[in-house]
Chains A and B, each alone.
Chain A
Amino acid sequence: MTDLQLWLSAMEMGCFFGMLALAYYLVQVGAGFFNFAIGPYAMMGGLCTSWLVIEYDLGVWPAAGIAVAVTLLLAAGTELGVVRPVQRRSGGGELPALVAVAAVLFTIQQIAGYLFGHPTLPGQSLATFDPLPIGGIVVQPSSLLLIVVTVLTFGVTAVWIRATRTGRLLRAVGDSKQAASLLGLPVNRIRLVAFLAAGFLAAVAGLLFAPKAGVHSLSGLHWSLSGFLAVVIGGTGSVWAPLFGGMLLGLVEVFLPYYFGGQSHVYGMLLIALLFFAFRPQGLFVRTVRA
């Protein structure tokens, strides 16, 4: 494990999974719900950008802007159009919401496949400076951008959720929806904010990560699972926990195939999921509440 290039690769994966996990975390805190459509949001962010650039010769920045806007629409549609009506009808049951979000995931994948076609498109890099040689390895501009944006995002989110009014409302609604609505807090609006923030994070993560391996209309499911695992490993005790979980998962995704070949990261992920779900389903970082 001395090859620095591999460590860089693992860090990129970790940053990407961490961003997805942060998106999960926000919806989980604000709406008490795992939004499995996060992977497809990221896919939409990456694929829509690439498609606009390749098909319509649009600049990368306007294309990325359009892609993020589309993803925000999808996120708002998920909450307003599907999850909220289904949850309202089913009461507290988890299964209807799960099936609904599976339907959303599947639908977004199919829409993307229908609109953008099925080949894997290369990701478009927002940064265009020359690759940087750092300590014997070469850092691609897209990698640097992904890492920097991830760290910034986590910092901003940590401040936002702790210090701003919306962040405090988010935590209040997440702690107890009943108490929050009794106090007259705008529960529905806060939930929508959580979904929109998650959609935004996922779209940005997807379009920043796409240059690494390209993006395909079916990438979303795998990304959904990775982000979910990252947030489960990290736990929901701190805003930084998803980043930790993502990094751990990034190491697994990079080093297992390197040492054990081909498909071993799939087995590794299954094993990690089984171990964590069985022994520590609350994750590594847990918020302790004084009794």
Chain B
Amino acid sequence: MTDVSAPHAAAARPRWDIRQVPGIGGLGLGIAAAVLILTWVGSDGYRQTLVTASVTYALIALGMYVPYLMAGSLSMAYSAYAGIGGYAVGLISTRTDLPLLLAWIAGPIVAAVIAVLLGLATRRLSGFFLAAVTLLFGMAFTAFLIDGERLTGGSGGVGNLRPLRLFGWMPSHYQVVVGSVIVVCVVAFLLDRLRLSPWGVIVRTMRDAPRAVEAAGVRVPMMNLVALALGAAIAAVGGGLFAYSAGSITPDTFTLNIVFLAIFMPLIGGSGTPWGAVAGAVLAVELTLNFPAIQASGTLLLALGVLVIMLVAPKGVIGYADKLRRRAMTLPRRRRTGG
């Protein structure tokens, strides 16, 4: 009697094990890397700038992750979304007396609304057509920033942002850097969970077999719009962080260059998990900004590296490391059984 009911009881009330939480491994590694990076940074102003740039790149790449790698549609308007986030911070800071924190709520919402409108206008497009229209939208947005002088300050942009104040507490620059790293870790972890959630599974199936998903009663265009809005909002958060740390924002802050880099970051890091986008962002900043000797050719190295990775290791650095880890783990086992 007891030996029959025991497995039942165990199944009904399993022991809670932290290793069973989906995505926890990535979070652990991510936090470890973040702590290492933050101790390396310390109070060095230049290194803080590097981390801010990495954080911004990572958030833009994470924003693209949802529609691009989960839903499989390449929207390239992310320079505009990041710009909206940045200008939200700039305009609320200089034109109004509202609390600055509001910018990180308003910016992502505006970016999401624009993404939905653009998504509605392009809902029948995919592949090359979608990429072309969204690229043109990014260009038109830059033109609008330069033209709309009364609203956006023209080509000079918005400068002299006031410091953040959270309920009377004014965080130092280093604290802002730490906070933004935490934001990246949280967003990457949540996206990893989202990828494994039922919603994420539907979106990823939609990428491979849209008709089957449609036939199963899921409204594919609606899911696509939600993915686009979510991505735009995340990118806007990144744009806001960058504008705040730099203290100013101009139409040249977020160019199409960043969009191309953001497409490549998940490929470099590994497209299997959102943490790949973060790893790719850190690598991209290291290559393009940090090494003075190769700074001129850093972007070229990155571009060539992307081509090589696409041809040799399609799962990126994390995928390659995972393969090595698996091989290393099976090696002793094989020796034990085979020897």
Residues 87-119 (chain A) with a chain B CB within 8 angstroms? 89, 94-96, 98-100, 102-104, 106-107, 110-111, 113-114
Tell me what chain A mostly uses at the interface: helix, strand, loop, or mixed.
helix
User: Which partner residue on chain A sits nearest B76 by CB separation?
Assistant: A102
Binds A, one of B13-21, B228-236, B277-285, B302-310: B302-310
- Verify if A149 is at the interface (C-beta below 8 Å from B): no
Chain A residues with Cβ below 8 Å from B122 are: 274, 277
The interface residues of chain A lying within 8 Å CB-to-CB of B139 are 222, 225, 266, 270
Q: What bracket does the count of chain B residues touching chain A fall in?
A: 35 or more
| A185 CB within 8 Å of chain B | no
Interface residues of A (CB under 8 A from B): 34, 36, 81-82, 85-86, 89, 94-96, 98-100, 102-104, 106-107, 110-111, 113-114, 221-222, 225, 228-229, 232, 262-263, 266-267, 269-270, 273-274, 277-278, 281
B298 to chain A, nearest CB (A): 9
Contact, CB under 8 Å: A266 / B136: yes
B74 x A95 contact (CB < 8 A): yes
- Quote the shortest CB–CB distance from B304 to chain A (angstroms): 6
Residues of chain B with a CB closer than 8 A to A114's CB: 296-297, 300
Give the distance to chain A from B157, nearest Cβ to Cβ, in Å.
16
Does B146 lie at the interface of the complex (its beta carbon under 8 Å from any beta carbon of A)?
Answer: yes
Interface, chain B (partner A; CB < 8 A): 72, 74, 121-122, 124-129, 131-133, 135-137, 139-140, 143-144, 146-147, 256, 260, 263-264, 267, 296-297, 299-300, 303-304, 306-307, 310-311, 314
15 more A-B residue pairs beyond the given contacts A36-B128, A82-B311, with a C-beta to C-beta distance below 8 A: A82-B307, A94-B126, A98-B127, A99-B74, A106-B306, A107-B304, A110-B303, A114-B297, A221-B256, A262-B147, A263-B144, A263-B147, A267-B140, A267-B143, A281-B125
Q: List 29 A-B contacts (CB under 8 A).
A: A36-B128, A82-B307, A82-B311, A89-B314, A95-B127, A98-B127, A98-B128, A99-B74, A99-B263, A100-B307, A102-B260, A103-B306, A107-B306, A107-B307, A113-B300, A114-B296, A225-B132, A228-B128, A232-B129, A262-B146, A263-B143, A266-B140, A267-B143, A269-B136, A270-B133, A270-B140, A274-B133, A277-B124, A278-B121
The residue of chain A having its C-beta at the shortest distance from the C-beta of B118 within the complex is A274
Rounded to whole angstroms, the CA-CA distance of A221 and B126 in the bound complex is: 19
Judging by beta carbons under 8 Å apart, are B133 and A273 in contact? yes
Residues of A within 8 A of B126 (CB): 94
Given contacts A114-B300, A269-B136, contact A278 B306 (CB under 8 A): no
Report if A281-B129 is in contact (Cβ < 8 Å); known contacts: A102-B260, A103-B310, A274-B121: yes
Partner of A95, one of B72, B124, B129, B135: B72
Asked whether B146 lies within 8 Å of A263 as measured between CB atoms, the reply is yes
Q: How far apart sit A81 and B135, CA to CA, in the bound complex (Å)?
A: 26
Q: Assuming the A-B contacts A99-B74, A103-B310, are A228 and B137 also in contact, with contact meaning beta carbons closer than 8 angstroms in the complex?
A: no
Residues of A within 8 A of B306 (CB): 103, 106-107
How many whole Å from B319's CB to the nearest CB in chain A?
14
Is there contact, CB below 8 Å, between A270 and B136?
yes
Q: What separation, in Å, do the CA atoms of A114 and B126 have in the docked complex?
A: 33
| A83 → chain B closest CB, angstroms | 11
Shortest Cβ distance from A229 into B: residue = B132
Find out whether the CB atom of B310 lies under 8 angstroms from the CB atom of A99: yes
Q: In the bound complex, what is the Cα–Cα distance between A106 and B137 (angstroms)? A: 19
- Tell me, in angstroms, the Cα distance from A34 to B127 when the chains sit together: 10
